[in-house]
């Protein structure tokens, strides 16, 4: 299980890094915002991996960790923009 969790952490890190490259960093997070995006990726991947294990079994947990981490970092980046749009 530890190896599996380390795999989810790696998946979260990769997703966070790609999200940063995609410019999905919330502007209000300042200079250290990149750390937040990576942390969000890792946290969401861990949550997704755990959910995946419970719902689909160990075998598919990493795939669930992957798409949940992506949903989380995209939602994180889009939420402030959507809020700003609504305010306008």
Partner 1 sequence: MWRGEREAHVASKSESRARARLARAGRWLARGVLALLFLVGAYVSLVPQGRAAARATLLLPALVTQTQPAALVASGEPVRHTQLVVSSRSGPVFLDVYAPTAGPPPAPGVREAVILISGVGDNRAVPQLINLSESLARAGLVAVQMTTPALLSYTLLPADADAVVAAVMATGNLPGVRPARVGILGFSAGGALACLAATDPRIRDSLAFITLFGSYYDARSLLKDFGRRALEENGQLKPWHPQLVPIQVLANTIATTLPSDEGKVLSDAFAQGAPPLMPAQIATLSPPAAAAYHLLAGDQPDRVDANIAALSPQMQTLLTALSPSTVVGELQTPIFLLHDRNDEFVPFTQSRAFDASLTALGKRHEFAEFGIFAHVEVKSGLGIGALVDDGSRLFRIIVGLLAPAS
Site string for partner 1, 9-48 (x = CB under 8 A): ------x--xx-xxxx------------------------
Least distance to partner 1, CB of residue 1, Å: 10
Given CA atoms 2, 48, 73, 32 in this order, what sign does their dihedral have?
negative
Q: What six digits make up the tokens of 62?
A: 């990493």
Given CA atoms 66, 8, 49, 71 in this order, what sign does their dihedral have?
negative
Footprint of partner 1 (CB under 8 A): 3-4, 7, 15, 18-19, 21-24, 52-67, 70-71, 73-74
């Amino acid at each position: 299980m530890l190896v599996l969790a380390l795999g989810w952490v790696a998946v979260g890190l990769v997703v966070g890094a790609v999200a940063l490259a995609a410019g999905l960093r919330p502007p209000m997070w300042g200079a250290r915002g990149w750390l937040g995006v990576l942390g969000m990726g890792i946290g969401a991947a861990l949550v997704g991996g755990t959910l995946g294990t419970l719902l689909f079994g160990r075998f598919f947990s990493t795939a669930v960790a992957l798409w949940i981490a992506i949903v989380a970092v995209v939602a994180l980046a889009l939420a402030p923009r959507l809020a700003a749009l609504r305010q306008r």
